[in-house]
Amino acid sequence: MSAQPKPVVAAAPFLPFTRPTIDEATIAGVCDVLRSGWITSGPNVKEFEKQLSAYCGGRPVRAFNSGTCTMEIALRIAQVGASAADEVITTPLTWVSTSNIVLDVGAKPVFADIDPVTRNIDLDRVEAAITPNTRAIIPVDLTGLPVDRTRLYEIAGRKSLRVVEDAAQSFGSNWGGAPIGSTGDFVSFSFHANKNITTIEGGCLVMNDEHEARLAEEYRLQGVVRSGLDGMEVERVGGKYNLTDVAARVGLGQLPHLASFTERRRGLARRYLERFHAAFVAEIDCRLPVADFAQSNWHMFQVILPEAHLAKRGMKRADVMAALNDRGIGTGVHYPALHLFALYRRLGWKDGDFPHAEYAGRNTLTLPLFPTMTDADVDRVVEALESVLRGA
C-alpha cells in the first residue's frame, strides 16, 4: 500500500500591527462623493466638523489634512514663537512632529523625561523645567493613555501657560469620564490611517471660542478671508491644510463605530495582559502597559523588551521584530527617543539626557491591536513572542 500524502497545513495569514476597519456603507458613501463632483472641502467637511463638535461638548472644531498642522496652528493662534526666546515643554518619547512644530513656529522645544510606568511625560519634571521663557506645554497621550489632566491644568493655570494637547492617539479616551477634547485648552486629534478612527490622512483642532476658530480657518487656507461674492483679503501667512470631502466622508462613516471599536480594543488589551501574566512576564522582565480599562482607548499595545535578557543572547529589538515577522506577525516602533535624532543632537541634546525615554525608545515594541483581531490572534502573538524571548 502506498503511503498517504501528508495534509498541507495552510500558513496563518500575516497579522499586521494595525489595520483600519472601513465598512461597505462608508465605501459606498465615498463613491457618492466622487460622483457628486464636489471632492475637496465642502458639505461633508462641514458635517464632520459639526459631529466632532458635538462629541467635544459643543466646542469649536475645525478639520485639517493632518494632526500635525493642527498643533502648529494652535501655537500660532496662541502667539507662541513671537519671540525667539519662547519655550515649549514636551516629551522626548513621541512622533517627531510634536517637537518639529515648535521649531516651525520659531520657538525652542524643551524636553522633560517620561514616567517609566505610564510612559507619558512626567509632570513633576515638567514643573521643574518651567522658566520665565516658557509659553506652552504639549503633553502627549502615548498609546491613548491620558496624561493626568487635573495636574496638568493645575500647573498650566498657576504658571499662566497655554496647553496644546497632542491627543493624536487618544480620540475615544476620557479623563474622569469626560471625553478627551470636551475640556481643556487646545486639543489636537489625528485621523491618520493607523488611528482608532481614520479619514485616511487628517486631523482636527478643538478650540476655546469662535475667535480662535476663525483664526484657524485663516491659517488653514493661505490666510484668506472671503466676503460677499467676490471679496477676498489676506492678513496673515497661512498654509494649505484643508481636509477633502472624500476624507471627511470616511470620517463620518467611522464616528458611529467609535464606541464599539474602543470596547473591542479594551477587550483585546485585557486578553493580552492576561496571557502575558500567565506566560512569562514574571520570569522575563518584559514590561507591560498600565492596565487602564476605564480611560484609555488602547490605541496601541506596547511592551518594553528586556534589554539585558536579549543582550545575553546577542539580540536586539530588530532581531525580535525579524523573528516575529518570520512567524507572520507584524510589529512597530513607537517611538525612538526623538532628542537623539541628528536634528536635535545639533541643537545640543545627547545620550543620557532623558534616561527613561531613551530606554523605552530602544526597547518599546508595538504589537498587533485592531478591532477585527480575534482572541486567537492575541494568543498567537504572545506565544510567538514568548518563543522568541526564550530563544527558540
Catalytic center residues:
195
With H, G, I as helix, E, B as strand and everything else as coil, classify residue 6.
Answer: coil
As given in the structure block, the three cell numbers for residue 385 are 513572542
Q: Is 156 helix (H, G, I), strand (E, B) or coil?
A: helix
Residues 151 and 115 sit within 8 Å (Cβ to Cβ): no
CA angle 317, 321, 324 (to 5 degrees): 140
* E strand segments, the chain: 61-64, 87-90, 108-111, 134-138, 162-166, 174-175, 178-179, 186-190, 203-206, 224-227, 231-234, 301-304, 364-367
Contact 297, 172 (CB under 8 A): yes
β-bridge mates for residue 332, sequence order: 366
Helix (H, G, I), strand (E, B), or coil: what is residue 186?
Answer: strand
Question: Is 145:289 a contact under the CB 8 Å cutoff?
Answer: yes
- CA angle 38/42/45 to nearest 5° reads 125
Pairing of strands 231-234, 224-227: antiparallel
Of 150, 96, 90, 133, which Cα lies nearest the Cα of 114? 90
Structural contact between residues 65 and 268, judged by C-beta atoms closer than 8 angstroms:
no
Q: Is 270 exposed, middle or buried (0-12, 13-18, 19+ CB in 10 A)?
A: middle
First to last CA, the chain: 38
- 87: which 3 cell numbers? 519655550
Count the neighbouring beta carbons within 10 Å of the beta carbon of residue 385: 26
